[in-house]
Amino acid sequence: MNETAPQVPLHFRRQGDIAVLIIDNPPVNALSQALRKAISETMALTDADPSIKAVILIGSGSTFIAGADIREFNLKLPAPAGRAAYDSVDASKKLTVAAIHGNALGGGLETALCCHYRVALRSARVGLPEVLLGLLPGAGGTQRLPRIVGAAEGLELITSGAHIDAPKAATLGIIDEIVPGEDFDALLQGALAFTRQALAQGKPLRQVRATLSKLAGTDPALFQEFRNKNARKWTGLIAPQKIVDCIEMAATRSWDEGYAFELARFLECKESPQRAALSHVFFAEREAAKIPGLGREIKPLPVASVAIIGAGTMGGGIAMAFANKGIPVKQLEMSAEALQRGRGIMQKNYDTSVSRGSLSKDKADAALARITGTLDYQDLAQADLVIEAVFEDMAVKQEVFRKLDAVMKPGAILATNTSYLDIDQIAAVTQRPESVLGLHFFSPANVMKLLEVVRGARSAPQTLATGMSLAKRLGKIAVLAGNCDGFIGNRILANYAREAEFLLEEGATPWQVDEALKGFGLPMGIFLMRDMAGLDIGWRVRQRKEATRPKHLRHTTLPDRICEMGRFGQKTGAGYYQYQGREASPDPAIEQLIIEYSAKAGITRKPVSNEEIVRRILTAMVYEGAKILEEGIASRASDIDVTYVYGYGFPRYRGGPMFWAEQQGLAQVRDWVLEYHRVHGDHWKPVRLLDEAAAAGSWKAVERSR
């Protein structure tokens, strides 16, 4: 059998009587249709060649197979053919060894589980993360993995989608041997040695599907207990339940029944809107990292040390985010008491993480030790990046930036954590506006994944590239936003919150609106969220903006009425809800206030359905999203989705507001906007970009033409 031409994503090499199949489909050796076809054909050839005694499957470059090619899920491909490659490996008459480095995920691990043996480098990671894409392992993963690790471990691993490291996988029996070394060559040598020894020892052709060892004696009650334990966490999700059903089949039925059952459940997931939404989010978050027009030649500046102005909630969270990643932080405050208070809060947060087991005491202590305090701006001068996280007041922020401009070394990045103030006004007080940008973290900053990187009019490309690359280092997801009031996230929030207020005037109650939004999948409704944040913040903003508020547009003073009663939310025991401690309950006094307010405003209240509430709120998000796209504040509609999924609790399995709109049909959404414009006025003035997208049927079509 001779060497194959490079065009197919699979290379064949001979090492004596061992065939080495090198999978070569960059960037992550995804199992595309072409690769699956090549594997099936090559396995048939190795089976037929008597001179071949064993087969090694190995990935080229830095990884094994990272799964099926997710892009293909939108294609109509024949189902069974999808498994042929796996079945060909499983049915091999020659001893097969999977040699794993980098990632063996999803279909990648399933391919390895079809081999008789698996070896790996210590740095390798394996897992079945399909559930994160609204799918389940469709090539035998729900049947084979539990046979190796047992039902309980199988349930945890496959419903969480966790990636586990090779040493743990070896402990669980997934990996047979960890081979020494760090790269492809070391792995190949290790795999060849393992295979030759296996041949010499006459090791059996150990098919995972033929071994029921770890499933035997599984307690039948395990599955229902597992469903009950996770019911709340899985609210709204389809795939996790089906995974449990598949593993239960593996433990209670024959291989053929379980394998067929899995395929049927896989196809149900594949056709579900959740799968489409979750695949959209997968690619959207990777797309968001790329700034259109900013070439790879623009290298981020090194950030080895960081300074933070402010030790309040945001300053403390941001300091922890950097310290947790090994980056030393200098924190400045106005007084030693304020510094001490901030440190106390960080200590408490670390203690909570340690007590929850999400962080070791050593790691927590090491991180906190990386954060040092100062009262002197001079101590910050040598930091590569300084982030201002002080009170949201323009004059206060400008004063801070004047001081920073005076002390920071040339080339340092000056960032503001403002959540809505004008970046250009802040940059204008410095001699280096090109080094100024917004880095808008979300509270708690050491937890929330979203980072809005805000471009000022004079922010240099390298400054922006540095901001974007920071996110990856911090384990966050960056979205580039233009400079406007509230950037992407808060601007959309302000727009849909206004419509939520109007819905109260028209007939809904705060708790009905919140219940409807929770029913849609948001973790919390807008009014409960506002009560938690404190109603006085919004009140101050409204008072500041009253002078410039466009008077021709519909306006409500209902939220002001509530604040004038001293009801600022949870912290005052009453807001839109009344509170027993943190426990919120509907308040008849608020309902009465709203009824009287509507009457005085001459608004006839009518029953509003939860469906109408969700449509109005979501359409308000999309409407503002379309304006944001039109103004270039966001580069892509999918960036808005990433912002809402990672910063505002929008349910991932719904893909984000702009994706939701495409699922509804953009022409339909445009018609809803026209209807709201007819009824509610110019807050809904038609947006040209939405009209164009409705005509084109997708956001991408109009993004491309911009």
Which of 9, 59, 134, 141 is in the footprint of ligand T1G by CB under 6 A?
141
Selected catalytic residue, list 110, 388, 506, 662 = 110
- Can you tell me which of 21, 68, 633, 673 binds ligand T1G, judged by CB under 6 A? 68
Residues in the chain: 706
Residue 545 binds ligand T1G, judged by CB under 6 A: no
Give me the catalytic one of 130, 285, 388, 452. 130
Our finding on whether 510 is near ligand T1G (CB under 6 A) is no
Q: Which lies closer to ligand T1G via its Cβ, residue 70 or residue 415? A: 70
Closest CA to 443 of 656, 621, 647, 288: 647
| Closer CB to ligand T1G, 364 or 451, in the complex | 451
Nearer to ligand T1G, 79 or 304 (CB): 79
- Quote the least distance from Cβ 26 to ligand T1G, whole Å: 8
DSSP result, 338-375: HHHHHHHHHHHHHHHHHHHTSS-HHHHHHHHHTEEEES
CB of 86 to ligand T1G, least distance (A): 8
Q: Which residues contact 624 (CB under 8 A, 6 or more apart)?
A: 491, 492, 495, 496
- Interface map 347-376 toward ligand T1G (x if CB under 6 A): ------------------------------
**C-beta of residue 262 within 8 angstroms of C-beta of residue 137:** yes
Strand partners, 136: none
Taking the least distance from each CB to ligand T1G, the nearer of 137 and 258 is: 137
Binding mask 634-653 toward ligand T1G (x if CB under 6 A, else -) reads: --------------------
Contact pick of 9, 137, 559, 647 for ligand T1G (by CB under 6 A): 137
Contacts 24+ apart (CB under 8 A), 599-602: 601/505, 601/556
Stretch that binds ligand T1G, among 65-73, 450-458, 480-488, 627-635 (CB under 6 A): 65-73
Helices (H), 438-566: 461-473, 489-506, 510-520, 526-533, 535-545, 558-564
Indicate the residue among 145 and 311 with the shorter CB distance to ligand T1G: 145
The number of angstroms, rounded, from the C-alpha of 258 to the middle of its chain's C-alpha atoms is 32
* DSSP E strand boundaries for 205-357: 306-309, 329-332
Residue 69 touching ligand T1G (CB under 6 A):
yes
With respect to ligand T1G, which residue has the nearer C-beta, 265 or 498? 265
With beta carbons less than 8 A apart as the criterion, state whether 452 and 471 touch.
Answer: no
**Do residues 297 and 338 make contact, with C-beta atoms less than 8 angstroms apart?**
no
CB of 565 to ligand T1G, least distance (A): 50
Residue whose CB is less far from ligand T1G, 64 or 401 = 64
Count residues contacting ligand T1G (CB under 6 A)? 24
Environment class of residue 502 by beta-carbon count within 10 Å: exposed (0-12), middle (13-18) or buried (19+)? buried
Q: Does 531 bind ligand T1G (CB under 6 A)?
A: no
Calpha distance 102→306 (Å, rounded): 31
Q: What residues numbered 557-596 form the site for ligand T1G, per CB under 6 A? A: none
Tell me the β-bridge partners of 11.
Answer: 22
Helices (H), 507-630: 510-520, 526-533, 535-545, 558-564, 588-601, 610-630
Say whether residue 229 binds ligand T1G (CB under 6 A): no
103: β partners: 125
Query: Is residue 71 near ligand T1G by the rule CB under 6 A?
Result: yes
Is 146 a residue that touches ligand T1G (CB under 6 A)?
Answer: no
CA 402 to each of CA 395, 398, 427, 439: distance values in angstroms, whole numbers, following the listed order: 11, 6, 9, 18
Active-site residue, 110 included: yes
Pull the structure tokens for residue 525. Answer: 């409704």
Nearest CA to 461 out of 451, 449, 469, 450 is that of 469
> Is 250 within 8 Å of 142 (Cβ atoms)?
yes
Cβ distance to ligand T1G smaller for residue 71 or 544: 71
**Going residue by residue from 244 to 283, which x/- string records binding to ligand T1G, judged by CB under 6 A?**
---------------------------------------x
CB of 479 to ligand T1G, least distance (A): 15
Window 371 to 410, contacts with ligand T1G (CB under 6 A): none
Q: Min. distance of Cβ 178 from ligand T1G in angstroms?
A: 20
286 binds ligand T1G (CB under 6 A): yes
Closest separation in Å from C-beta 177 to ligand T1G: 23
Q: Which amino acid makes up residue 32?
A: S
Binding mask 80-119 toward ligand T1G (x if CB under 6 A, else -) reads: -----------------------x-xxx--x---------
β strands within 160-301, DSSP E: 163-165, 177-179
* Dihedral sign for Cα atoms in the order 391, 397, 403, 409: positive
Pick 468 or 687: Cβ nearer ligand T1G: 468
Nearest-approach distance from CB 521 to ligand T1G, in angstroms: 21
For 152, phi then psi, to 5°, come to -60, -50
Establish if 66 lies at the interface with ligand T1G (CB under 6 A).
yes
Looking at the Cβ atoms of 129 and 486, the one nearer to ligand T1G is: 129
The residues of the shown chain that bind ligand T1G, judged by CB under 6 A, are: 27-28, 30, 66-71, 103, 105-107, 110, 129-130, 133, 135, 137-139, 141, 283, 286
Residues catalogued as catalytic = 110, 130
